[in-house]
Structure formats: structure tokens, C-alpha cells
Amino acid sequence: MHLFSTTLYDAGLYSGYTDWHSHILPGVDDGVKTMDESLAILNKYEEMGVKEVWLTPHIMEDIPNTPEKLRSRFAELQTAYKGSVSLHLAAENMLDSLFEERLKTRDLLTIGEKEDMLLVETSYYNPPMDLFGLIGRIQSAGYHIILAHPERYIYMEEKDYKQLLDMHVRFQLNLASPLGYYGRQAKAKAERFIKEGYYSYRGTDIHRYAMFQALKHHPISRRLARQIKAITPIEG
């Protein structure tokens, strides 16, 4: 490895780490399919020093999970897993018409200990109708917003990111983005946002055990690794 490079693992990022975004609840979305793979990932988390994991399965029109269904599957995982990583259930909410319906009834899975934050996403290619109006309605309902992987939204321009930050939307970095896992554009955006201090949360967004090859072993500059490690969550 180059003198000026390291890995996120060697930089100590995963020691005591909280993963704010994962798809390891088995068989409920496009993430992990089996309980065995979920347990293998959790064992790997332990080996790497991870302390806590938020399980954030998709809820969207194409994957219309209900909180009740997800809580039931989460209870099964808790029964099967006997290790030391603390597990918490939330969701990654697509900002679509299904979300708007559930926002009205507050039928939502929050993230964070204070139960007042929502992890949300949009399409990578097109914004939802009235994005900023919807952000305002979510906040008026009493929720803080964490936007998942903002570096991956192709349609977003700098003025959009600035407006979201001005509206106190919090940004969550996918750790694989600055490693080049999602392509050059996402990598470049992630590196710039890290340097400019846009992020408040870090997540693996892990969907498969095979992602550990990048998350643990892919080289990254020491300076960038230090900046990622310094990202500090905002609670409440």
C-alpha cells in the first residue's frame, strides 16, 4: 500500500462504530436474503469492532413494507443473533406517495434514540414532486431528516444541496462512495462533501456480505480517512 494511503479498517474507523444505514434484515428488500448471511455479516461487524447497527430496510411503493412486518422480522433476528453488536430497527423511506400517506398517520419507523429522526432517500435520477415542500411538511410533523447517500443523486446540483443544508437536512455518507464503489461521480461528490463538512452520519448501506471486501480492504488516502472518521452524529 502507498505510504500516504490506508484503509478505513486500518484507520480505526470501525472501532466503536455505529452503522446508520444497512440492509441486513433478511428477506424484506433488495438486501440480505437469508438469516445465515445476516448472522455472517453481524459476526464480521464484531470482528471489525462495530458497536451498533441500525437496520434500515427499504419502504417504498415498490417494496411496501409495513412497520409491523419489519418489527416481526427484526424480533426473529434478535432471537437468532447472540453476539455483542447492539441492533436497532429503523427504515430507509423513499419520498414517494406511500411515504406521504404514512406521514399523515405517523406510521413510520424512526432512527436514533430520541425517535424523532427519519432516514429518507429519493430516486437517483429524478426528484420527487415538490421536494422542498415535502421536506418542510416532514419537519412540521416534528421530524428531523437524514438524507441517505446524497452523493449518489445524479439530478442534484450544488444549489439543491445548499438549500437542503440550509433547511437543516442532515446528510449521511455511504462509506463505499469515496472508495469508488458507486462510480466516479459519486466518489468525486463524496470527497468534496467530506472536505466541506456536509456530512453528519456514516453508513455502510451494506446489501451483501461481499461488500466487506471494499469496506475493509480498499485503499483510501490517510487524510480522507481522518476526515471521515471525524464525522460526528447530531442527535435530536
Q: Which residues contact 116 (CB under 8 A, 6 or more apart)?
A: 110, 142, 143, 144, 236
Per-residue cell: 80: 437468532
**Is 88 inside any structural domain?**
yes
- pLDDT by position in tens, the chain (length 236): 565 799 999 999 999 999 999 999 999 999 999 999 999 999 999 999 999 999 999 999 999 999 999 999 999 999 999 999 999 999 999 999 999 999 999 999 999 999 999 999 999 999 999 999 999 999 999 999 999 999 999 999 999 999 999 999 999 999 999 999 999 999 999 999 999 999 999 999 999 999 999 999 999 999 999 999 999 998 76
Residue 235: the pLDDT is 74
**Is 69 inside any structural domain?**
yes
Q: Domain span at residue 148?
A: 5-229
Could you give the number of structural domains in the chain?
1
**Is 92 inside any structural domain?**
yes
Residue 4: the pLDDT is 78
Specify the pTM: 0.97
**Is 29 inside any structural domain?**
yes
**Is 235 inside any structural domain?**
no
**Is 234 inside any structural domain?**
no
CATH of the domain at 56: 3.20.20.140
**Is 222 inside any structural domain?**
yes
Per-residue cell: 178: 469515496
**Is 236 inside any structural domain?**
no
